[in-house]
Structure 1
Amino acid sequence: MSDTPEYSYIVDLRQISDAPLVLEPDADARRRLAGRFAITAIDAARAQVKLTADGPVVRADGRLTAAIIQACAISGEDFPVKIDEPLHLRFVPETQIAAEPDEEIELSADDCDEIPYTGLTFDLGEAVAQSLALAIDPFAEGPLADKARAEHNLAGDEASGPFAALAALRGKE
């Protein structure tokens, strides 16, 4: 496995400005990301992000939109999915979040999206790609899910299964 991300957008701390950044992976990067995320395709992906530096800590706030094709968790048929998610990330120098290997740490809601970096640069593209991966529902059901359940007897028949015997005993005393 390569250490090179499928989509990279390096930000230099010395170049951060008030202008929003727009990240749009090209067709090749989208194809590679789709393979990494085990989905059929990423037809479009776009993130608009505003960076705010507070010393070495950088906040990235914005919006991620994407149009993907993924397989239905029930039928296996491909279907289109639209993603529209807010982005709230914090890039923090690795030295500020380093913990001892066996040290127990408490995480607040703000800590969950902290991304460590070293030096004067961080990869906003990889962070956006990871945000896209987290926005994909691995159990998404397409329009043919109910039909596939019926055809393959996956409708959850209440008369069978591990709790059928217990259900039959209900009310008998």
Structure 2
Amino acid sequence: MTHELSELSRWVAVRQCSGLAVDVIADQAELERLAERFDLVRVDSLEASVVVHKDGPAFNANGRIKAAYVQSCAVSGEDLPVSIDEPLALRFVPAGEDVDEEIELDANACDDIPFDGDRFDLGEAVAQSLALSIDPFKTGPQAEQVRKKVGLSEPDKENPFAALKGLR
């Protein structure tokens, strides 16, 4: 069986998953490819530490993702450094299997990531988690100045409650 490679492939064999601790740390070439894939100025670091546990036919990977990257301001184009340090919860399920007939979702629920065969790509899931952390509308300190310069800023409006202040 052939497996497609992502910019950050880290294949985990399902037979190794009972309490397996995995560190995914991107090297320089992977960081450069991820920056290109996600249209970032650069990715300085990306690492995830997870423990994988078998849950019936599925596999849960829980831990943390940490990254530092630079993205462009959505308005001014200036470089904005960003860092993340977040919990990571991934669930890998065999493709085509109905793992849970009835499931109750809560705020901590994660999406199922299907896999074929006898292994899954933990690295690609980490890369996708990085992508989800990127705010495509992030603005920097120069954004309002640029908006005003090009006429996109809202005019200063009088506070509607200012007249009430004088009634005291």
Report the TM-score range of the alignment, normalised by the length of the smaller protein. Answer: 0.7 to 0.9
Q: Which residue is 2:91 aligned to? A: 90
Q: Which residue is 1:136 aligned to? A: 134
Contact 1:10 1:122 in 2 (8 A): yes
Which residue identity is paired with 1:127?
A
Query: So what's the TM-score if we normalise by structure 2?
Result: 0.80
Query: So what's the TM-score if we normalise by structure 1?
Result: 0.78
Distance in 2, matches of 1:117 and 1:138, equals 28
2:153 to 155, 159, 164: 155
1:77 Cα offset (Å): 0.9
1:127 to 119, 125, 128: 125
Relative to structure 2, which stretch is displaced further, 21-30 or 143-152?
A: 143-152
1:130 Cα offset (Å): 0.4
Q: Which residue is 2:41 aligned to? A: 40
Q: Which residue is 1:101 aligned to? A: none
The Cα offsets for residues 112-171 of structure 1, whole Å up to 9 and x where unpaired, read as 510001111000000010010011000011122122122222212379xxxxxxxxxxxx
Contact 1:97 1:116 in 2 (8 A): no
2:27 is equivalent to residue 26 of structure 1: yes
The alignment-based identity, stated in percent, is: 46
- Partner SS, residue 95 of structure 1: coil
* Structure 1: runs of 5 or more not aligned: 99-105, 160-173
1:118 to 116, 119, 123: 116
Question: Number of aligned pairs?
Answer: 150
Which residue identity is paired with 2:50?
V
Distance in 1, matches of 2:104 and 2:28, equals 37
Q: Which residue is 2:71 aligned to? A: 70
1:14 Cα offset (Å): 1.2
Which residue identity is paired with 2:66?
T
**Higher helix content, 1 or 2:** 1
